[in-house]
Structure 1
Amino acid sequence: MRSPSSRRADPARWDVARPGWPSRTAGVDMAGFGVPGGLDDGLRIVPHPSVMLVLEFGEGTSTFDDGSGPRPGGAVVAGPGFGLGGTVRVHGADIACLQVRLSPVVARAALGAGPAELAGALVSLDDLWGREAARLRERLADATTWEDRFGLVSGAVERRCARQPPVDPEVAWAWRRIARRPGLVRVDDLADELGWSRRRLWSRFSAQLGLPPKQAAKLVRFDRAVHRLVAGEPTAQVAADIGYFDQSHLHRDIRTFTGLTPRTVTDEPFLTVDDTAWPDAIPVS
């Protein structure tokens, strides 16, 4: 029998906070989470088109497990599509954290390492920011309001972005087109509009954003589709609107990214809470 404090994740019990002001840095979005009790079954990580930065500051602890063994949480970063196949789960108890979603366009400037260097893996922020990561977590723990915490993290990200060069403007433009028109943009058309060869676009995009443009388009399309399914829209309508060949095509993508079916994926806690935590969808920059 489970103890009273250990239960399946229930987003209805989470404390979810949003900044009361728009981000001062384009391509950056933040949300705060307080997750009471224990998580016996774990929280499945659903792949997302952004770079994920998680900063824990409470007394609780978490671990990430992809089936090969647990990794400590604390302060971690993961690239776009992290959790592919639905194999990564978060375990812990009484977790309090601030999560940042970074557009791949601004991730290198904010973190000091681009999405390609993250290679879809979980990386400790200590390895990227050094002692600054620990100092920031200490200040988050000392802060008494979510607004103060958002201000601390926003300031840290803003300062780092001001010191680092951006990605190529052509690559940023291609990402924005893909993010704003999921499933409806062809890579060949993007290359033609840029006056680049398909090979050049593939090479620059992959090197700077961590995944090739076609895979980026698939990930963005999946993200839009699965959130519309969570909102209760019919599978056939979602598939037709977002550029899938048919419902079975959508079904295969959801299975590839999450290991679930369109019916079961709609109950995933990280998705059901998204309309509250991330109303602005994908940070495109």
Structure 2
Amino acid sequence: MAGFRALAPVDLDVVPYPAVTVALDLGDPPLAVDDATGHRAHGSVVVGLAPGSVRGHGSAITCLQLRLAPPVAHRILGASSELGGTVVGLDELWGSDAARTEERLRAADSWDERFAIAEAALVRRYTDGRPVDPEVAFAWDQLITHRGAVRIERIATEIGWSRKRLWSRFHAQTGLGPKHAARLVRFDDAAHRLAAGHSAARVAADTGYTDQSHLHRDIRTFTGTTPSTLATAPWLTVDPTAWPATRPDDDRP
């Protein structure tokens, strides 16, 4: 989780990320988020995986943002299909618990206290939440470990499921099919390498794309932009500070 405060007006595109994003809105006026269909949500929101064009904006923003691995999000949020390409209000998933959590966060005196409140809420809901298939959790971990460069058939064989069963259960609990999820994980790796200053040609070669055109097509699919535009996206600029890399072999800043 990370805390964000911007006193100046904010208007930025959200770059798709291989995690479900929860923004707990603490500002006034409330945060506004537009999705690819033109629907606008206000206040605390959940941004699912690969939602297409999503834009967050407000005259000033204060929010506590969470990133949840999809199997964890399925359990904590009580959501499944909503974890795919959608943006929904947190109250649609948590009901009155969303308002109670927001109220406690707003009354807190420090970010550390807010983090503790949010963590307690997550633990409580995780304990009481929907069960997650361990096979689905394993499949997701494999996609992350291999940065999307792993065959779905291999994962299915390892867990003893058919490819059809893996697709069905994975989609039911993450909102995406495993192949689409693998593309998203690989795209995220490529996006951060571009933001780190690597050329599109090198990024395509290092992240398993067939060629540079293949990389361009995925960037267009996930963001509607070009590699040069994606490389300077504000959403990615703040990423290494708010969400520091944890893999020792990662060459991101």
TM-score (norm 1): 0.82
- The question of 1:195 aligning with 2:166 is answered no
- The question of 1:78 aligning with 2:47 is answered yes
Alignment partner of 1:37: what SS? coil
Which structure 2 segments of 5+ residues have no match? Answer: 248-253
Q: Which has the higher contact order (CA 8 A, sep 6+)?
A: 1
Alignment partner of 1:228: what SS? helix
Summarize the Cα distance change of 1:223–1:281 in structure 2 as closer, same or farther, 3 Å threshold. farther
1:242 aligns with: 207
Which structure 1 segments of 5+ residues have no match? Answer: 1-29
CA deviation after TM superposition for structure 1 residue 119, in Å: 4.1
Alignment partner of 1:250: what SS? helix
1:33 aligns with: 4
1:21-78 Cα deviation digits (max 9, x unpaired): xxxxxxxxx0110012113xx2111111111111111223221223654523211112
Amino acid at match of 2:18: P
Amino acid at match of 2:28: E
Equivalent residues of 1:51, 1:107 under 8 A apart:
yes
1:219 aligns with: 184
1:99 aligns with: 65
1:126-149 Cα deviation digits (max 9, x unpaired): 122122111111111111211011
Of 8, 12, 19, the residue aligned with 1:43 is 12
Alignment partner of 2:154: what SS? helix
CA deviation after TM superposition for structure 1 residue 201, in Å: 1.1
Equivalent residues of 1:229, 1:266 under 8 A apart:
yes
Of 62, 68, 78, the residue aligned with 2:31 is 62
Amino acid at match of 1:103: A
Equivalents in 2 of 1:236, 1:79: separation in Å? 29
CA deviation after TM superposition for structure 1 residue 156, in Å: 0.1
Summarize the Cα distance change of 1:137–1:186 in structure 2 as closer, same or farther, 3 Å threshold. same
CA deviation after TM superposition for structure 1 residue 104, in Å: 0.4
Equivalent residues of 1:183, 1:244 under 8 A apart:
no
Equivalents in 2 of 1:281, 1:81: separation in Å? 22
Alignment partner of 1:61: what SS? coil
Alignment partner of 1:120: what SS? coil
Equivalents in 2 of 1:36, 1:275: separation in Å? 21
Summarize the Cα distance change of 1:195–1:68 in structure 2 as closer, same or farther, 3 Å threshold. closer
Alignment partner of 1:80: what SS? coil
TM-score (norm 2): 0.92
CA deviation after TM superposition for structure 1 residue 236, in Å: 2.1
Equivalents in 2 of 1:163, 1:194: separation in Å? 26
Of 160, 181, 187, the residue aligned with 2:146 is 181
Count how many residue pairs are aligned between Structure 1 and Structure 2: 247
Equivalent residues of 2:83, 2:174 under 8 A apart:
no
1:90 aligns with: 56
CA deviation after TM superposition for structure 1 residue 220, in Å: 0.4
Equivalent residues of 1:65, 1:89 under 8 A apart:
yes
CA deviation after TM superposition for structure 1 residue 118, in Å: 4.1
Alignment partner of 1:184: what SS? coil
Equivalent residues of 1:43, 1:90 under 8 A apart:
yes
1:273 aligns with: 238
**Which runs of 4 or more aligned residues in structure 1 lie more than 6 Å from their structure 2 counterparts after TM superposition?**
none
Alignment partner of 2:7: what SS? strand
Summarize the Cα distance change of 1:281–1:206 in structure 2 as closer, same or farther, 3 Å threshold. farther
Alignment partner of 1:89: what SS? strand
